[in-house]
Structure 1
Amino acid sequence: MKKLVVIACMLVGGLGVAQAQQTSPVWPGCEGSDDVKACFNQKLSQHVRANYEYPKNDKGEYVRGKVTITFEIDENGEVAVKSVEGSEPAVNEAAKAMILEIPKMKPGTLNGEVDAREFTVPFNF
């Protein structure tokens, strides 16, 4: 009988987690969008194109590289960079600066409560 009660509790607890209502952060301009996630991705792509500044080396040549950035949209809708990984330090710094320019947005929610959301995005600059 104890096993049955434990299994029932695990099942009910698992169903509660499975039914969690989660919303994505809302980028300014995406408030009325039918697909907030797709709008977020589109706005992020536009932001990268408009705000990334290619660094130059000592010879005046543009420095290129791959970068993986992990950032968070916190409970206040503000961006915090968690990590930047890449082989070119100048590209890493330029990518971090570009991400920090993401505008404040409406934060995501989990079960109706404001919730921080983490993103990891690879870029080729």
Structure 2
Amino acid sequence: MRVKKNPKADLNRNSGLYFVMGLAIVLFVTWRALEYRTYDSVQDEIVMLVDAESLDEDVPLTEMIRTTPPPPPPAAPEVIEVIEDTDDVEETVIESTEISQDTEIASVDLDASEINVEEAEEDISVPFAVIEEIPVFPGCEGLSAADQRDCFNQKMMEHVQKNFMYPKTAEELGIEGRVFVQFVIGRDGKISKIRTRGPDPSLEKEAERIIAALPQMTPGKQRNRNVSVPYSIPINFKLM
């Protein structure tokens, strides 16, 4: 069975003609778009005639201040007298002050007995934990090395308890805490370089006062030489 088809219903019959017509229309539109130009509109110039008489302005009168010209400079003398220089000028001779290796400055005889040589003592600091002979607290003399350390710590605690006073300002405000105090027992056995660190300046000041009241001790020794010994102690401030 053959499919019956109407020849007039063939859509591809005039496709070539339609393609050529469409291409011609597109080319024409493109050409006109490229050739299209725009021009600025010309505005008519308006010429205004201004009456010259209306431009007259009233110019204010100004007063010219005349200043007196400066006096003329003095005139030069008609005759110039030339004076000959007859005085002899003595030239100053500047001698060199540089010295050479052959110049002898002075000969001084020095006697070795007149020279005093002073040995500067070096301030050696040895920690309390490793020093050979710890500083001796008053009342701990004549004990062994182990007993010396126990006696030193015991005397230190007794001194803190004896001189302890709670600051009134800190007590009223309810301030408490621990203050860490570090100081140095010098080569002469005196207390110096006190440093404090705590929760309140009033507590730090009181801890510094307590440590500053320590008595002079027998200085610590390292290899039979007096040395400085740093020491630190915590002081606990607690309200009851």
**TM band (smaller chain):** 0.7 to 0.9
**1:70-89 map, 5 Å:** 70-89=182-201
Match of 2:205 among 80, 83, 93: 93
Q: Is residue 70–residue 119 contact of structure 1 (8 Å, CA) maintained in 2? A: yes
| 2:171 is aligned with 1:66 | no
CA-to-partner distance for each residue in 1:80-109, whole Å, 9 max, x for gaps? Answer: 133100111101000000000000010000
**1:1-125 map, 5 Å:** 22-34=132-144, 35-57=147-169, 60=172, 63-125=175-237
For 1:69 and 1:88, the matched residues in 2 are separated by 13
For 2:131 and 2:229, the matched residues in 1 are separated by 14
Task: Give the aligned residue type for 1:111.
Answer: R
Task: Give the aligned residue type for 1:74.
Answer: G
Number of residue pairs aligned between Structure 1 and Structure 2: 106
For 2:131 and 2:236, the matched residues in 1 are separated by 33
The runs of at least 4 consecutive aligned structure 1 residues that moved more than 6 Å come to none
* TM-score normalised to structure 1 length: 0.77
Tell me how far 1:60 sits from its aligned partner.
4.2
The structure showing larger relative contact order (alpha-carbon pairs under 8 Å, at least 6 residues apart) is: 1
Tell me how far 1:56 sits from its aligned partner.
1.0
Task: Give the aligned residue type for 2:133.
Answer: T
CA spacing shift, 1:85–1:113, aligned 2, 3 Å = same
Structure number having the greater strand percentage: 1
Larger Rg: 2
* TM-score normalised to structure 2 length: 0.41
What is the percent sequence identity of the aligned residues? Answer: 33
For 1:116 and 1:105, the matched residues in 2 are separated by 12
Q: Is residue 170–residue 176 contact of structure 2 (8 Å, CA) maintained in 1? A: no
Tell me how far 1:65 sits from its aligned partner.
2.0
For 1:58 and 1:76, the matched residues in 2 are separated by 35
Task: Give the aligned residue type for 2:203.
Answer: V
Structure number having the greater helix percentage: 1
Q: Is residue 81–residue 99 contact of structure 1 (8 Å, CA) maintained in 2? A: no
Which stretches in structure 2 are left out of the alignment for 5+ residues? 1-129
